[in-house]
Amino acid sequence: MTTATPADTATTPAVPASPMAAAGADRRWVWIVVAAAAALPLLRSVVPDIISDYRLFLMSTMMIAAIAVLGLNLLTGFNGQISLGHGAFYAVGAYTAAILMDKLSLPYWTLLPIVAVVCFVVGFLFGLPALRLEGHYLALATFALALAVPQMLKYRWLEDLTGGVQGIVLLKPEAPFGLPLTEDQWLYYYCLIVTVLLFWAAWNLLRGRSGRAMMAIRDHSMAAGTMGIDTARYKTVTFGISAAYTGIAGALSASAIAFVAPDSFGFFLSISLLIGLVVGGVASLPGSIIGGIFTVLVQNSAQALSNFVKNDIGLPYDLSPYSVYGILLLVLMYVMPTGIAGGVVMAWRRLRR
Amino acid sequence: MEQLIQQVASGLANGAIYACVALALVMIFVSTDHINFAQGEMAMFSTYISWQLIQWGLDYWIAFFAAVAISFVAGVLIERIVLRPLHTAPVLSIIVVFIGLLAICNSVAGTVWSYLIKEYPTPFPKEVFGFSGLIGAHQLGVVVVTLLVLSLLFVFFRYTPLGLAMRAAAQNPVSARLAGVRVDWMLALGWGLAAAVGAVAGMMVAHIVYLDPNMMAGILLYAFAGALLGGISSPGGAVLGGFMVGVLENLVAYLGNAIEKGFGVYIIGNGEKLTVALIIVITVLTLKPSGLFGRVVVKRV
Amino acid sequence: MVALLEVNGLRAFYGQTQALYDVAFALEQGGITTLLGANGAGKTTTLRAICNMVRTEGRVAFDGQPITGRATESIVRLGVAHVPEGRGTFTTLTVEENLRIAAYTRGRSAEVKRDLDQVFEYFPRLRERIQQQAGTLSGGEQQMLAVSRALMLRPRLMLLDEPSFGLAPLIVQEIFRILRRINEESKVSMLLVEQNAALALDLADHAYVLETGRVVMAGPSSVVKNDENIRKSYLGY
């Protein structure tokens, strides 16, 4: 017996979707932002203190995180399938890329299509049993996946491929065609190109028929089914696409950090993606970028924050990013259930009224 | 052969822990339809509280009961303060709040007590049961304590008016209100009891796995597997499922070991514990979501 | 003499939809009053509004005391027993447990035992099924159980939502006969909502007629019964 009455389940959506529609952002602004991002490294000679290689590297990791969050958003935000284990697909992407580079010596730029296909297949296959699960149950299955991933990566039979606990050390990609760019600068451009392409693809997907079908399934699965939408196909394919996006992010991160090891793909990673999703904005493309930026910021400023708490406030505690995440997750659900993107849109609408 | 029996016996001891956590999960699930992802971390936190009390010089059992009482109150407060306002929130919001709770419990325990592994005492004297070898004194104690807790809960739910009211509130909240039951408080009480049972599990297992903020992650996963196997809508089923999973876990490791010895091929071992749990979770969810002893939930549109 | 239940300017809402518009009526102590009306007229909503089970505005007073905005369970504890549409059976609990819930604040005292005996005196069939799972009872038995559960609250007012729904005529007659006995012997006032107007007007001494969320007619049952419009619309002759 469920406690929810039929009326309850019908009126409560699965996710607090952001009011910003998939294609909500103004196109002109998008071009301005992309152009500004592309011009950024060129300013390095002008203001070398502000645009350092390290900062560019950080921004690359933000873009990578944004792609990963977008992957989760496609599944959870736009299709209503809740995943607490997207770190698993990130890991598959990272390891696929690392193994191909390490064992087959494939150049890094050939990897992304292969990774996308591999992760799509893995996601699609996981999506099949997930078809029978909804809401809390799917969350439970993916939660279990998130916890088990590091252990699976250490499996003895895979050790030759994965390097076991040690992981795999890689080389950082170098700029092609003799372009006068440092590794970090080239990484930045590489990530920027991939990010723009992937967001453009997602935007196209979402504003079309398939996007509407995905969202219809999220809002009322059974009604979508009676309208002739093949919910099973859409859900599994969405799972595959979502995994492919997150996997590509994983592959990029393997290149960026030039290292993969099992314990960096634990539960914490999945939580980071989740927080990127809810902080940025559920079912929002710009929200995915905000979410990506945010998770990197938290992880990088945690040390500073911890020092601040210790030295300036005088509390004898280490503040981990985990605690920041925890508090934020709780507070956000009360204050801004649609994330920053959703909150901004709502505030803007209220101001204009 | 003796080794096999030993494995089964210690599997039962682990299973007792899983059964407690599984029961805690089910108590919350049947009344709210929520899966409490923070159940394990809450239990871990309770265990730290008892550890702290022992450090301050309290007797083990006093610390034990104090921690259970504190956990009960904390569980009630969490339901009233954190979850009540989200009564009609979307599923994702509720899951996110559970994950937030999990992260807070884990990180606060880590900051206050550090992430270093600690020894946790056992209240059971080594040789008091007059035999050893087959099953350790602590393991036997764990089984006894958990069975005691489970029977107490059974008596409470089956034979007391309050227990009846809680069952009624879980089964049909609208009707329960019309019978004068304060349903909101029943849910909060359910949370309190779940937290208390979880605390018992944490304090019993800490001596075996050692105390650290991440000690419950794997146990929670096994409890999930147990609850699902038995039927997440059935308290009795979840308890049985917990024991089954505990034995199964050890049998798989035993079998893997035997194969490695006999054929020299490594297939599965202790390193794959969580993967085994994942496989159980996904298999049960896809093949028989109601579990072995649960009721099938009919969905109405 | 103060009315047992007094309803004034009662409005009720489902989300944005308003279901009741300034409904007003009063119930006398000891009487049986019926609310008549077509499907969707707001009969069930009125009962729910009294117990604050929907979003409600207006004034409801029980025994002179305002109860608007109180929690459902508090209103119930004041002595308003609501026998809901669909009977509200706790299907996985036994018949005895179904009855004991309503008395759980009173513990397991001898008093509860006496109340149980009283209930079984009205509905002997339930005594035979006392340890049976309530979900396995027939529809008529579940309706008896619902009335009995309400009785266990020791109410002064009973709100009955379509007690005849889906039951065979013989069972309906039996239940209505017992309702009259309960009214007379246990001094429980009743507010009855019924599709079956003829049946309701036979049992009740007062009637109100609801149309699209408003009271359109009120009076003693005998008068309402003989009103030509009512006869045509609700009694069918």
pLDDT above 90: residue A299:
no
- Collect all residues of chain C within an 8 Å Cβ-Cβ radius of residue B235: none
Euclidean distance between CA atoms B176 and A344, whole angstroms: 42
Q: In which band, very low, low, confident or very high, does the pLDDT at A6 lie, cut at 50, 70 and 90?
A: very low
Tell me the per-residue pLDDT of B132-183, one tens digit each, with 9 for 90 and over. Answer: 566 778 888 888 998 999 899 999 998 888 999 999 998 899 999 999 999 9
CB contact under 8 A, B179 and C102: yes
How large is the greatest C-alpha to C-alpha distance in chain A, in angstroms? 67
Q: What tokens does B167 get?
A: 């069952």
A6 touches chain C (CB under 8 A): no
pLDDT at A264 over 80: yes
| pLDDT for the residue B188 | 93
Question: What is the pLDDT of chain A when averaged over all its residues?
Answer: 80
First to last CA, chain B: 54
A22 pLDDT higher than 50: no
For chain C, give every domain's residue range.
5-88+157-235
Average pLDDT, chain B: 87
CA B209 vs. chain centroid, Å, equals 15
* Within a domain: A124: yes
A57 is in which domain, residue-wise?
A: 24-266
Q: All domains of chain B, ordered by start, with CATH?
A: 2-124+133-287 (1.10.3470)
Per-residue confidence (pLDDT) for residue A3, from 0 to 100: 35
Which one, of A309, A112, A312, A266, lies nearest residue A201 by Cα? A112
CA separation for the pair C17, A77 (Å, rounded): 29
How many distinct structural domains can be found in chain A?
1
Chain C contact present for A11, CB below 8 A: yes
Q: Does the residue A177 lie in any domain?
A: yes
Task: Check residue A338 and give its pLDDT.
Answer: 67
Mean pLDDT, residues B260-283 taken together: 81
**Over chain C (237 residues), what is each successive 10-residue block's mean pLDDT?**
84 88 89 88 90 91 90 92 91 92 80 91 92 91 93 93 90 93 92 89 91 87 83 74
DSSP state of C94: B
In a domain, A65, yes or no: yes
Confidence check: pLDDT of A210 > 80:
yes
Pick the CATH number of C5-88+157-235 from 3.30.990.10, 3.20.20.105, 3.40.50.300, 3.40.50.10860: 3.40.50.300
The pLDDT score that the predictor gives to residue B284 is: 86
| Residues of C in Cβ contact (< 8 Å) with B162 | 104
Q: Please report whether residue A144 resides in a domain.
A: yes
* Least Cα separation, residue B34 to chain C (angstroms): 20
Chain A residues close to C15, C-beta within 8 Å:
11
Q: What is the pLDDT of residue A23?
A: 44
**Whole-number pLDDT of residue B131:** 54
Contact C93 B171 (CB under 8 A): yes
pLDDT at A10: 40
Report ipTM (2 d.p.).
Answer: 0.91
Most A CBs within 10 Å: which of B91, B113, B114, B220, as the mutation test of the A interface? B91
Cross-chain residue pair A333–B97, CB shorter than 8 Å: yes
| CB–CB contact C153 B179 (8 Å) | yes
Please check whether residue A286 lies inside any domain of the structure: no
Domain membership of residue A11 (yes or no) is no
A54-86 residue pLDDT tens: 888 888 999 999 999 999 999 998 888 889 989
The answer, for C89 touching chain B at a CB cutoff of 8 Å, is yes
Q: Which of A174-188, A318-332, B216-230 has the highest mean pLDDT?
A: B216-230
Query: Rounded to 5 degrees, what are φ and ψ at C102?
Result: -65, -15
Chains that contact B by 3+ CB pairs under 8 Å? Answer: A, C
Between chains, do A139 and B82 touch, taking CB under 8 Å as contact?
no
pLDDT digit string, tens, across residues A129-153: 888 787 788 888 888 888 888 888 8
Model pLDDT, residue A189? 87
